[in-house]
Structure 1
């Protein structure tokens, strides 16, 4: 349990209000040492406010923020064992790379010797694969190199916690993917806690050990990336994290963890439950695009539809398929599958799906609006 672990970050009843607006509702939150956690959610959900309260750039309206077991009330940002990498890096354009990285070291009291500053600066640049770049000006660097300088500057003071405020948002897709891998490797090598704020689901799922999904100033679900994707806690998480299709239906039978549902077109299916769905009630069934198969195996009944759009993505192709009474469903097919290259808009297809794929939610899933307090622990 978290109480038996060394915790780097704790929120105890923390909330944040701006006048009449509540940005973060009362929340208990515990992050053990060495975790890589992503705060994920849409704009305005409270994730950046949480990050800024950890960093000391905002003070909570209620509750306590603890770092390493110490209450951070009234402790200014520069006195906390935390450093932050900003979205736009915030590098000093009139400094060279070494001076940017060494800036934090020169603020330490008692002062470090010049040789110590030089050694630690060189070590930090080598850590982010920029050895030999110290004399260059910031404007002479690529976007990815500037991002590495910002990382080196944040790490050179050896913080207990590194805060990352959408640090990859300004990079192109290929460079962003490369930097995701480098950040993962760096975090494992250093063993310090990383807290990443992002609205990019792919980034959160691919980089972190734990994903914290937020909405409306509350924590909706916290868990491992595969748990968040495969077992979303409510309809919001299912819709926000990745792509999904929602099919309307009526619950015929409900047992512990499973339900029998009749879809709007009369087809009956079995589904896992997320939240209680009662017999006779309306339900929404989530089906991920990759769970849909184009074509039904022998002996199985499928859904019949017409392809309206095809999006070619290289290794896969996405098809928007209009199914009578159910609407348009998105299906993802392997590009190497024999049939996928032959399908085009206007083609009629049969769709089937893996038996364990459907996940049922109450039709009016309002758990998020009902939750008054979020209490979560990150378990390593």
Structure 2
């Protein structure tokens, strides 16, 4: 199919339609409202279910109920709205049913603003809702990648009977780029053997997240953990750029990773040996590739549109072998390539020891720049 100029939100919505989503439940919130608007048009056109719920709490529980029937279902929201969904997401995880969520991240905390951010990392990647569970979290850095990851998310959710979240910062949702949409897949007629579809002529199926007996809850938690180990083994995704001889390695996801790539190319033109690892799966996180990089690089620079949330995971991977620096723009501010390039230049000419706190060094530089 030919490439066309597409807005990120509309592209993700249409990608879900073409992946065979059967029901969408959501509530408007900037900067993801275009997903809901597109679904309100396309789903009825195709004889599928669309419902604008009265709140995000209602929307996620509608997703929960529809997912129990084995249908392909999804919702979308942005940061404060996703916070309201957390109880429902935990129920979905505990019931072991597949569901897809698109989170187009905005500035926060609180109501924040409608500008692009990556401040949802902790609430999305590290569970959010109560209990022991891990969602799959995918972070696109372009409109095309957002399309591809939305389509993939339904397959992963069904393969592992889990929640899959596409976490796109607001830049990805609002930007327009040439991209190619996939072919339309047929809506599946068959239902999984666990789905609640009526019990005429067979034993009833019961789906629940309630395990009153702690021993039963423990068994269920171990079952979720075993499935997570399969995900860890099979579903780590990332991209590498210029890492063969890199002495400085940047780790950044989504828009921060994309902007970092521009800075890397500019630094390379100046003769600085720098590369980029861009995580695509934030959960499962690419710990092993980053650990391997730490055995041959001299330092790492973590770039995020927050105050350092992925930084903690990078630290776990590096294990103190080499210095880690941090550069962040929180609250809805997007960094420019020159900002990151200046950090690369500083690190190339002022190498630091592995001791010390990356956030503290970053805060000291921020204070100095504000004087």
TM-score (norm 1): 0.23
The structure with the greater share of residues assigned to helix is 2
TM-score (norm 2): 0.23
The structure with the greater share of residues assigned to strand is 1
Larger radius of gyration: 1
